[in-house]
């Protein structure tokens, strides 16, 4: 494991540093009992309104993860703390059931992993995502999932039930086909080959699947788009979307540090490419602009993506989460029918 290394927390007035060499970062699991479990989004960049995240922080340790700064709200760092101090929302299934039982809930689409991955390794033991999916199946509420973990295939039985009673789509995030690149920048995630195998297992079971080529890091993985789509098509994927690399807040520091540490030969090339598609900046924070790039270089990326998807018969979308759903929601046993 990497040693303790966090950017300065802008929400803290003091910053502690190790006088001697920092110790290795050990996993810490913190339990939380929040009062609500659904987050409501109003960004025009995101094609969904409600998301569910059973965990804060993520063991996948993706260097580019846009959720890193959110960990600082809890007094943790955006670097190693985000990867090793994981908060588990232990009452997530109960909260979801309570929300579904409220008369104002009408069965809108819920996206699992709007912030951190709902199938990160702790899910194998805590099963919060699985139990939340069971609640969705019971209430016939449609779901969309995005994950980097092959663990999602464990829940094929629940996903099939949910698919029969409402609708579900699973996006497997696969920005890299090269396992060395994946290991360098997303070391805690399942290797690409295992993710493709999970996609194939779900597709064979009748689950609607897609590939998320997110993020596209120009100068590193933009040349892999065609091959990734080919592999996804063979694995049964029918949907795909791309997003440009985002480096908000402290993510810039974490990403550049990891890139220079693990892939030093690509570092300057990648940073130059980001400046090219972000109009001379490393990040674009404006709503409506965050998910895509600009200029000739980004146009080449989009054209290649669209051309390959059309050739393979893969449906494309802006963010992947624009999914039409039927009015399937139903409270079991006629709950609240008198209200």
For residues 56 and 88, give the distance between their C-alpha atoms in angstroms, rounded to a whole number: 7
| Per-residue confidence (pLDDT) for residue 176, from 0 to 100 | 97
CATH of residue 245? 3.80.30.30
| Per-residue confidence (pLDDT) for residue 283, from 0 to 100 | 87
Task: Determine, yes or no, domain membership for 58.
Answer: yes
Task: Determine, yes or no, domain membership for 276.
Answer: yes
Structure tokens at 48: 């969904």
Assessment of whether the complete model's pTM goes beyond 0.75: yes
Q: In the chain, which ranges are E strands? A: 28-32, 38-40, 50-52, 55-56, 85-89, 110-112, 143-147, 168-173, 208-216, 239-244, 315-316
Regions in the chain scoring below 70 on pLDDT = 1-4, 8-24, 43-47, 319-322, 334-339
Q: Look at residues 188, 244, 190, 238 and name the one whose alpha carbon lies nearest to residue 210.
A: 238
Residue 105 sits in which domain range?
A: 29-326
| Per-residue confidence (pLDDT) for residue 55, from 0 to 100 | 98
Task: Determine, yes or no, domain membership for 4.
Answer: no
CB 215 within 8 A of CB 277: no
Task: Determine, yes or no, domain membership for 309.
Answer: yes
Task: Determine, yes or no, domain membership for 336.
Answer: no
Task: Determine, yes or no, domain membership for 338.
Answer: no
Task: Determine, yes or no, domain membership for 334.
Answer: no
Task: Determine, yes or no, domain membership for 119.
Answer: yes
Structure tokens at 291: 């998910």
Q: Look at residues 226, 246, 228, 225 and name the one whose alpha carbon lies nearest to residue 237.
A: 228
What does the pLDDT look like over 230-288, one tens digit per residue? 999 999 999 999 999 999 989 999 999 999 999 999 999 999 999 999 999 998 888 77
| Per-residue confidence (pLDDT) for residue 289, from 0 to 100 | 80
For residues 280 and 284, give the distance between their C-alpha atoms in angstroms, rounded to a whole number: 10
What does the pLDDT look like over 7-46, one tens digit per residue? 766 655 555 454 455 556 789 999 999 999 999 987 666 6
Q: In 41-98, which ranges are E strands? A: 50-52, 55-56, 85-89
Q: How many CA atoms lie within 13 A of 161 on its CB side?
A: 13
The tally of domains found in the chain comes to 1
């Amino acid at each position: 494991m990497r040693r303790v290394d966090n950017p300065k927390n802008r929400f803290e007035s003091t910053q502690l540093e190790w006088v001697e060499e920092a110790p290795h970062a050990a996993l810490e699991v913190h339990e939380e009992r929040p009062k609500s479990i659904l987050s409501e989004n109003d960004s025009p960049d995101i094609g969904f309104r409600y998301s569910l995240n059973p965990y804060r922080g993520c063991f996948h340790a993706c260097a580019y993860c846009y959720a890193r700064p959110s960990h600082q709200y809890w007094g943790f760092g955006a670097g190693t703390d985000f990867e090793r101090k994981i908060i588990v929302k232990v009452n997530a299934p109960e909260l979801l059931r309570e929300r579904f039982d409220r008369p104002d809930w009408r069965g809108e689409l819920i996206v699992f992993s709007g912030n951190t991955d709902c199938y990160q390794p702790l899910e194998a033991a805590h099963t919060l995502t699985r139990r939340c999916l069971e609640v969705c199946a019971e209430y016939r509420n449609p779901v969309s999932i995005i994950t980097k973990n092959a663990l999602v295939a464990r829940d094929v039985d629940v996903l099939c039930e949910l698919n029969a009673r409402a609708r579900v789509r699973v996006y497997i995030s696969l920005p890299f086909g090269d396992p060395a690149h994946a290991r360098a920048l997303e070391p805690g995630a399942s290797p690409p080959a295992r993710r493709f195998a999970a996609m194939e297992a779900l597709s064979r079971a009748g689950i609607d699947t897609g590939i998320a080529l997110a993020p596209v890091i120009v100068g590193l993985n933009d040349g892999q788009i065609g091959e990734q789509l080919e592999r996804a098509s063979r694995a049964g994927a029918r949907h795909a979307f791309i997003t440009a690399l985002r480096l908000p807040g402290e993510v810039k520091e974490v990403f550049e540090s990891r890139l220079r540490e693990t892939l030093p030969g690509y570092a300057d090339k990648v940073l130059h490419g980001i400046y090219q598609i972000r109009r001379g900046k490393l990040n674009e924070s404006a709503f409506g602009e965050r998910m895509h790039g600009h200029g000739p270089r980004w146009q080449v990326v989009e054209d290649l993506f669209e051309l390959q998807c059309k050739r393979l018969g893969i449906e494309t979308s802006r963010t992947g989460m624009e999914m039409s759903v039927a009015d399937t929601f139903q409270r079991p046993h006629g709950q609240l029918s008198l209200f």
